[in-house]
Amino acid sequence: METSRTHEPPEASRGGFTISTDRSKLDLDVIHSFLRESYWARGIPQEIVARSIENSLCFGVFASGKQVGFARVISDYATYAYIADVFILESYRGHGLGKWLMEQILSHPQLQGLRRWSLCTRDAHGLYEKAGFTAPRSPQNYMERAEPEVYQRARPQEIHSER
């Protein structure tokens, strides 16, 4: 069974801002500039950011066509979705854009009926709690394999894998 995910990208506008899933509107330089300085992806090479965008459902937040926010969802579109790399540029915070971005993600037509959503945060618990997220019910069941320093010790060509 094959499911087509090719349709007109959803877009929403409000108060001079737009949220779109149209990848052609994303500004890789803005996204990379933010992520390479973030606590969760410090030093990430631009090539890795580009590859992550290619393999995710991405949401860009725009003000007059300029990118001011971003998030991406990694999903099988059937049972599970992981929300990653969420940010609103500092000068645009305080306008409710983070909350609106989460609303747009959670209501996206391709992401309905999923059994589980997850994300990780160090400093935005309040935002995600408003969207219905909680601490894991059974944290003892959760496992991870983390390599937080991978971007500092490897050159981009060493990170890439053959496809």
Residue with tokens 């000068």: 91
**CA 119, 141, 101: angle at the middle one, nearest 5?**
10
Instruction: For residue range 25-49, list pLDDT tens digits in order.
Output: 999 999 999 999 999 999 999 999 9
**Contact indicator for 87, 44 with CB cutoff of 8 Å:** no
% of the chain at pLDDT higher than 70: 88
Domains of the chain with bracketed CATH: 11-143 (3.40.630.30)
Residues 34 and 42 sit within 8 Å (Cβ to Cβ): no
The pLDDT, as a whole number, for residue 119 is 95
Cα gap 89→98, rounded to integer Å: 10
Q: Which residues of the chain have pLDDT under 50?
A: 1-4, 6, 162-163
